[in-house]
Chains A and B, each alone.
Chain A
């Protein structure tokens, strides 16, 4: 591990330099398994999305600390530059974007679901793609926005669900059919849609898109977290 970057109060980016002999590169949207081993051999492993493009200098995992988590508190609070981290991957071949898949692309992220979508945006830019791309990002508050400064470069459409800060010019409230009608490419353009976020968020957004007439087979989802 080479560097730790604060993204939000609960989220950090972990910059890694995997040994090129063990790491053949990845596609934007994939994840890795991180395995921790205690001195007595006890192990715990979890999956984390890759937030960097394949072309980037470092491999970046952006990890949100879950208060009752087992691995994320270690990664965000204990891990130090110079420490070794055991990774397996890249994993997942479906929730990826590459130029040959075309578009237009609609990326919809909720909370830390932005991470694999940011990898797609960076890749899109790195290969100088002409495929139209649009990002809709939902977070609770402005302070919860991950990659906040960088997202300005991508003309991200942002909605805040829990606050409306003074001077806020973005959207507020949940991602619903009305907001999607305004922001998403119309169904007639047959966008390729990637939705990542907590289960309830992904269920809500994907159902709204199908109801609006989008082709379910063009909607790829990645869900995380418990259901209530």
Chain B
């Protein structure tokens, strides 16, 4: 039983909203930014999205090719480990199901990699079956660099650091290799509904 904070009342959200907010989170209407370093700015001419690792023939799309893939519009709630949740965010992106279509692999894990050296790890199954996208539009506009543009991973069922900004590809792996924040004490999986914020949660 945690200690009672004498005189603390708090600000509660209404019940309908509260049911959508995982434990320990609060709803924000802003869009806070968290990054370990400077925001990268690179020419789209040099951009590609690659699937590497445990795959017979690595895949690669240029920006033009990537944008020509079938896209989806996604409306979803997102949850950041720093406690904010944002409801009904609207994105456009390419489903990982589309990108992984026809890929035959013995991999069970993925290490997503980004411009700026950022990485994050996920089980491959968390990217399949309509659960993950590479998003390039937010609210109908091209995704801002500070929010991960030109394209970021969108894996809304996990804490948002798993939705790697400036994503450039995924490495299919047989073993699970911790990514950037995972190596600094954050939880390996990051389910917000189980409040898996830090290692050991």
Q: Residues on A close to B: CB < 8 A?
A: 33, 35-39, 42-47, 70, 74, 78, 80, 83-86, 88, 91-95, 199, 203, 206-207, 209-210, 216-217, 219-221, 223-227
Contact = CB atoms under 8 A, between A and B. Distances in A.
A206 B39 contact: yes
10 contacts: A36-B5, A38-B9, A44-B26, A91-B198, A206-B37, A206-B38, A216-B116, A220-B37, A221-B35, A223-B33
Interface in B19-41: 24, 26, 28, 30-41
B6 interface: yes
A226 B33 CA distance: 7
Given A35-B2, A43-B2, A86-B2, A207 B7 contact: no
A46 B9 contact: no
B2 A37 contact: yes
Nearest to A92: B184
Contact of A38 (B5, B82, B184): B5
B117 interface: yes
Contact of A37 (B8, B32, B83, B198): B8
Contacts of B116: 216
Interface of B: 2-12, 24, 26, 28, 30-41, 82-83, 116-117, 146, 180-181, 183-185, 198
Contacts of A35: 2, 24
A112 to B, nearest CB: 15
A154 to B, nearest CB: 24
A220 B184 CA distance: 14
Given A37-B8, A70-B10, A224-B32, A45 B38 contact: no
B185 A92 contact: yes
A84 B33 contact: no
Nearest to B147: A227
A36 B146 CA distance: 31
Given A43-B2, A91-B198, A95-B36, 19 more contacts: A35-B2, A37-B3, A37-B4, A37-B5, A42-B10, A45-B24, A83-B6, A85-B5, A86-B5, A88-B198, A93-B185, A94-B36, A206-B38, A207-B38, A216-B38, A223-B35, A227-B30, A227-B31, A227-B32
Contact of B39 (A33, A44, A203): A203
B33 A199 contact: yes
A149 to B, nearest CB: 31
Nearest to A95: B36
Given A47-B82, A86-B2, A91-B198, A221 B38 contact: yes
A78 B8 contact: yes
Contact of B37 (A33, A36, A83, A216): A216
